[in-house]
Structure 1
Amino acid sequence: MKILIVVPALGLVYGGPSKIAVELAQALGNLGISVDVVTTNANGAISLDVPLHTWIPEKSYRVQYFPYWMGEYKTSFTLTGWLLQHVTDYDLVHTIAVFSYPVLAAHLACQLRQVPYVMNPQGMLEPWALSYKAWKKRFYYALLEKPALQHAKAIQMLAFTEAERTKPLNIKAPMVLIPNGIHRQDFEALPDPALFYQNFPNTRNKTLILFLGRVDPKKGLNLLAVAFAKIQAQFPQTHLIVAGQDNIGFLSTAQGYFAEAGCLDAVTFTGMLTGSLKYAALAAASVYVAPSYSEGFSMSVLEGMASGLPCIITTGCNFPEAASAQAAHVVDINADKIADALIECLKHPQQAKAMGNRARQLILERYTWEQVASNLSKVYTAILKQEPISVFS
Structure 2
Amino acid sequence: MCRSFKVKILQVIPCYLPAHRYGGPVKSVHELSRKLVELGAEVTVFTTNADGPDDLDVPIGSVVLLDGVKVHYFSVEKPRSYFRSPGLNRALAEQIHQFDLVHINWLYVYPTLTAARQCLRQNVPYILSSRGMLDSNAVAMKGELKKKLYLSLIEKKHLAGAAALHFTSYGEEANSWQSGWNKRHVVVYNGINLSEYADLPDIAEFDQQFPELYGKKIVLFLGRLNYIKGLDLLTQAWPMVVRDLPDAHLVIAGPDDDGYGVKVRQWIRDGGCEQNVTFTGMLLGREKLAALSRADMFVASSYLESFGMAIVEAMACGKPVVITDRVNICREVEQAGAGIVTPCDPPRIADALIMLLKNPKVGREMGTKGLKFVANNFTWDKAAREMTDVYEDVLLKRKR
**Alignment partner of 1:111 is 2:84:** no
Map 1:163-312; keep pairs closer than 5 Å. Answer: 163-166=173-176, 168-312=178-322
Aligned to 1:7: 13
Pair 147,186 (structure 1): closer, same or farther in 2 beyond 3 Å: same
Aligned to 1:391: none
> SS of the residue aligned with 2:199?
coil
Aligned to 1:23: 31
**Alignment partner of 1:384 is 2:382:** no
**Alignment partner of 1:129 is 2:135:** no
Aligned to 1:366: 377
Shift of 1:138: 2.5
**Alignment partner of 1:35 is 2:43:** yes
- Compare 376-385 and 138-147 and name the one that shifted more: 138-147
Distance in 2, matches of 1:128 and 1:216, equals 15
> SS of the residue aligned with 2:298?
strand
> SS of the residue aligned with 2:232?
helix
> SS of the residue aligned with 1:93?
strand
Q: Is the 1:97–1:124 contact (alpha carbons within 8 Å) kept by the matching residues of 2?
A: yes
What is the aligned counterpart of 1:99 among 92, 103, 108? 108
Distance in 2, matches of 1:253 and 1:145, equals 34
CA deviation profile, 1:173-216 (whole Å, cap 9, x unmatched)? 41111111000111111112333223322222221100011111
CA deviation profile, 1:145-183 (whole Å, cap 9, x unmatched)? 222111111111111121111154522241111111000
Shift of 1:105: 1.2
Shift of 1:248: 1.6
CA deviation profile, 1:59-100 (whole Å, cap 9, x unmatched)? 222111000012221100000000010011100011111111
Map 1:35-114; keep pairs closer than 5 Å. Answer: 35-69=43-77, 70-114=79-123
Query: Which residue identity lines up with residue 267 of structure 1 in the other structure?
Result: V
> SS of the residue aligned with 1:63?
strand
> SS of the residue aligned with 2:40?
coil
Number of residue pairs matched by the alignment? 388
Q: Is the 2:139–2:177 contact (alpha carbons within 8 Å) kept by the matching residues of 1?
A: no
Distance in 2, matches of 1:105 and 1:264, equals 47
Q: Is the 1:119–1:156 contact (alpha carbons within 8 Å) kept by the matching residues of 2?
A: yes
Pair 168,40 (structure 1): closer, same or farther in 2 beyond 3 Å: closer
> SS of the residue aligned with 1:316?
coil
Query: Which residue identity lines up with residue 22 of structure 1 in the other structure?
Result: H
Query: Which residue identity lines up with residue 229 of structure 1 in the other structure?
Result: P
Aligned to 1:158: 168
- Compare 367-376 and 125-134 and name the one that shifted more: 125-134
**Alignment partner of 1:148 is 2:158:** yes
**What's the TM-score once normalised by structure 2's chain length?**
0.94
Distance in 2, matches of 1:324 and 1:170, equals 27
> SS of the residue aligned with 1:333?
coil
Query: Which residue identity lines up with residue 112 of structure 1 in the other structure?
Result: R
**What's the TM-score once normalised by structure 1's chain length?**
0.96
Aligned to 1:341: 352
Structure 2, unmatched stretches of 5+, are: 1-6
Query: Which residue identity lines up with residue 104 of structure 1 in the other structure?
Result: L
- Compare 247-256 and 106-115 and name the one that shifted more: 247-256
Q: State the percentage of identical aligned residues.
A: 36
What is the aligned counterpart of 1:138 among 142, 148, 161? 148
Distance in 2, matches of 1:288 and 1:45, equals 30
Q: Is the 1:151–1:173 contact (alpha carbons within 8 Å) kept by the matching residues of 2?
A: no
> SS of the residue aligned with 2:124?
coil
Q: Is the 1:152–1:173 contact (alpha carbons within 8 Å) kept by the matching residues of 2?
A: no
Q: Is the 1:14–1:247 contact (alpha carbons within 8 Å) kept by the matching residues of 2?
A: no
Shift of 1:114: 0.7
> SS of the residue aligned with 1:3?
strand
Distance in 2, matches of 1:222 and 1:188, equals 33
Alignment RMSD (CA, Å): 1.5
> SS of the residue aligned with 2:43?
strand
Query: Which residue identity lines up with residue 72 of structure 1 in the other structure?
Result: S
> SS of the residue aligned with 1:324?
helix
Query: Which residue identity lines up with residue 6 of structure 1 in the other structure?
Result: V
> SS of the residue aligned with 1:9?
coil
Q: Is the 2:255–2:282 contact (alpha carbons within 8 Å) kept by the matching residues of 1?
A: yes
